[in-house]
Amino acid sequence: MIAAMVKARHDGHEVPPALRARVAGDLELPRPLRLMVTAGWNLAESVGLPVAAYAAASWLGGRDAGLVAGLVAIWLTAAIRKVATGSVPSLLTISAVVLTVQTALVLVTGDLWLFLLQFPLANFCMCVLFARTARGPNPLVAKLAAEVVALRQPATQHPGLHRFFQRATWLWAAIFFLLTASLAVLMVTEPTATFLMLSTVATAALVVAGAGASTVWFLSVLRKLGLRLRFAPA
């Protein structure tokens, strides 16, 4: 990459600003509007579409029909992504796997207790998915940052930045483990309606807190490492 930049300068050609930034060690995000569209689209296809399919089908045909519709919607989205782009985003893959496990549990048993078990089980699956990549070369938080908000890292991998993504992946594994334990306790101590309400509140609160903590931690690490975060040129 650096050689290409030097050659371009030697030949008298203008070096693209994005290339200069990546060689210089900057991290780059899309412009604010593009950033919102990118993040919104990823969340919509991973969460919004299956939830909308579930809501519509369950209203027409009941809970089981809703679960099947949500499962079909997310796997159809994944198939379209694979055909159109050649790959499936990690967030979409995670959602598809978790929803498949949940739907199988409910449809095979039909038992209320096992229906409630899907909530802590889904969080345990997330815990395992994050933990298994945390010590490797491609921590899941780094992949999600690249896919969900289109974060572009420096052309040469920075060891300190890589350590942050590994530790942040461990953080999210811990968050989902905490959710697993919390929901398991609530499941056996609270009535169904109360459990569903508290599980929604607990999940939202911990995910928002984790996202906020991860963002503050990320910006702090960038300052310590002397790296800059910038928006892509218009």
At 111 the pLDDT is 66
Asked if 123 contacts 94 with a C-beta cutoff of 8 angstroms, the reply is: no
More confident residue, 12 or 188: 188
- pTM of the entire structure? 0.73
More confident residue, 65 or 14: 65
3-state helix, strand, coil in the chain (%, to 5): 80, 5, 20
More confident residue, 96 or 170: 170
Asked if the model's pLDDT at residue 141 lies above 50, the reply is yes
In this prediction, residues 128-157 reach a mean pLDDT of: 86
Which residues have C-beta within 8 Å of that of residue 43, sequence separation ≥ 6? 91, 148
Q: What is residue 14's three-state secondary structure?
A: coil
The predicted-structure confidence for 154-175, as pLDDT tens digits, reads as follows 777 788 899 999 999 999 999 9
According to DSSP, residue 152 is labeled B
Residue listed under structure tokens 């369950």: 58
Q: What is residue 27's three-state secondary structure?
A: strand
